[in-house]
């Protein structure tokens, strides 16, 4: 009995102090657990696309669900039916990726990757938008970045980790120019393989840049490109830290200056309504993080309103979170106060090194600019484990008390009964 109590105590101590906090449960749909939806992908037809599911794979890895030899099933939703893909042809499935060689506008849609075994089922979804060359607006598909006048800029061609770039040379173009920017020590802009470098940024560096790569897949050359929209700001920008009160403009009396120019249209600055500046975000180790920056703006300015995320003052693609953090899924929704622009940021798996990381949302249009920051902390589970430890200790003490009671229970009454019975038998 003593040995059993000791084993129980050791097991409780190992559970309390040796295991990480439990992860939140996944939602269940049609008998299958559902991972967080991936960031939407926007691409152009005629290029190679590799569709992967980082949020889905993070769930499997953190929860230790699927072995290395697991098989994945990728389908495209077409009404109520799913279309599967073989390992050959224009669209091919390779393990947990889907390759488009090359992509067509008809490939747009929602794709699902599913892992299933005898006892467990997990699925993740991603939405792909493939635009025709005649209808695409590269600025709307671009990755926004900021640079300050006089500062050096170094920016890697984004979202190319799925491609083998061993033999590929990345070339940079500006403003859809057909001329490749040449490397030159004397020029103000320097390019190398995959990295855009601009020392001492000037205002005229602002514009749309395109990085282009030729990749070799199955002995065939395919084109891959990404658009980057560079915004150059002055060295000392005026950034409001609090959102202006938009509720006080409806009942105000017109002033003399405003009545003298009745046809002038003042563009209001964009307002970040979420998240709140200075918010502290707590996340469990290994869990994913899903954030939305919501900006209220004039509907006429919604398309030209920039909304982007930064990590410790750097673009997501240039930060240390590149590969684990993705931004995208921009959407515009009409609300009663105007239009709301949303930009999503997904951190695939939070690690110890992410503690106190500053995530900043920046919005800007012709009316002005605003930025807010949130700070990331790992959730302190000390209190939770103390409560659990107290309960475990109570159970342990209860078992010990029961054991001691059974061990040292008085036996006088039993002896007396035996003695009396013996007397009776002798008589």
DSSP code string of 46-93 = TS-EEE--HHHHHHHHHTT-S-TT--EEEEEEETTEEEE--SSSSEEE
pTM over 0.85: no
The domain limits of the chain are 1-21+382-427, 27-131, 143-233, 267-378
Check residue 416 and give its pLDDT: 47
**CATH fold match for the domains 27-131 and 143-233:** yes
Task: Select the more confidently predicted residue: 9 or 376.
Answer: 376
Domain 27-131 has CATH 3.90.190.20: no
| 378-389 tens-digit pLDDT | 775 444 444 455
- Name which of 304, 173, 182, 152 is nearest 226 in CA terms: 173
| 132-144 tens-digit pLDDT | 988 888 877 888 8
CA–CA gap between residue 283 and residue 356 (Å, rounded): 11
Q: How far is CA 338 from CA 77, 324, 374, in A?
A: 34, 34, 25
- Name which of 41, 136, 8, 78 is nearest 346 in CA terms: 41
Check residue 361 and give its pLDDT: 93
Contact between residue 90 and residue 222 where contact means Cβ atoms under 8 Å apart: no
Domain 143-233 CATH (choose: 2.60.40.10, 3.40.718.10, 3.90.226.10, 3.90.1150.10): 2.60.40.10
* Dihedral pair phi/psi, residue 316, rounded to 5°: -60, -40
Domain 267-378 CATH (choose: 2.40.50.100, 2.60.120.260, 3.30.70.141, 2.60.40.10): 2.60.40.10
Check residue 406 and give its pLDDT: 65
């Amino acid at each position: 009995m003593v040995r059993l109590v000791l084993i129980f105590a050791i097991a409780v101590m190992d559970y309390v102090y040796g295991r990480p906090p439990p992860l939140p449960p996944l939602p269940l749909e049609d008998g299958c657990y559902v991972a967080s939806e991936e960031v939407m992908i926007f691409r152009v037809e005629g290029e190679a696309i590799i569709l992967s599911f980082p949020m889905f794979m993070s769930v499997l890895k953190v929860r230790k669900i699927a072995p290395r030899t697991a098989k994945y099933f990728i389908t495209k939703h077409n009404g109520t039916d799913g279309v599967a893909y073989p390992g050959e042809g224009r669209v091919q499935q390779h393990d947990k990726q889907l390759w488009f060689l090359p992509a067509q506008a008809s490939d747009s849609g929602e794709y699902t990757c599913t892992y299933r075994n005898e006892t467990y089922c997990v699925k993740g979804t991603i939405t792909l938008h493939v635009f025709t060359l005649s209808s695409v607006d590269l600025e709307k598909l671009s990755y926004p970045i900021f640079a300050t006048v006089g500062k050096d800029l170094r920016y890697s061609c984004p979202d190319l980790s799925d491609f083998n770039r061993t033999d590929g040379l990345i070339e940079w173009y500006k403003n859809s120019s057909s001329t490749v920017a040449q490397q030159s020590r004397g020029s103000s802009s320097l390019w190398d393989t995959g990295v855009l470098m601009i020392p001492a940024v000037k205002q005229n560096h602002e514009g749309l840049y395109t990085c282009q790569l030729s990749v070799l897949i199955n002995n065939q050359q395919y084109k891959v490109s990404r658009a980057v929209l560079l915004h150059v700001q002055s060295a000392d920008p005026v950034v409001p830290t609090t959102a202006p009160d938009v509720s006080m403009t409806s009942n105000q009396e017109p002033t003399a200056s405003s009545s003298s120019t009745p046809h002038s249209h003042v563009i209001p600055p964009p307002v970040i309504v979420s998240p709140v500046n200075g918010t502290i975000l707590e996340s469990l180790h290994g869990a994913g993080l899903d954030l939305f920056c919501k900006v209220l703006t004039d509907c006429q300015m919604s398309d030209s309103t920039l909304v982007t995320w930064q990590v410790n003052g750097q673009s997501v693609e240039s930060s240390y979170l590149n590969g684990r953090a993705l931004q995208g899924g921009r959407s515009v929704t009409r609300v009663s106060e105007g239009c709301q622009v949303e930009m999503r940021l997904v951190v695939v798996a939070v690690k110890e090194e992410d503690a106190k990381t500053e995530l900043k949302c920046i919005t800007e249009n012709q009316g002005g600019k605003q930025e807010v920051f949130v700070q990331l902390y790992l959730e302190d589970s000390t209190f939770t484990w103390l409560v659990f430890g107290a309960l475990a200790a109570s159970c342990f003490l209860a078992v010990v008390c029961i054991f001691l009671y059974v061990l040292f229970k008085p036996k006088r009454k039993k002896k007396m009964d035996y003695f009396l019975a013996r007397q009776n038998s002798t008589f």
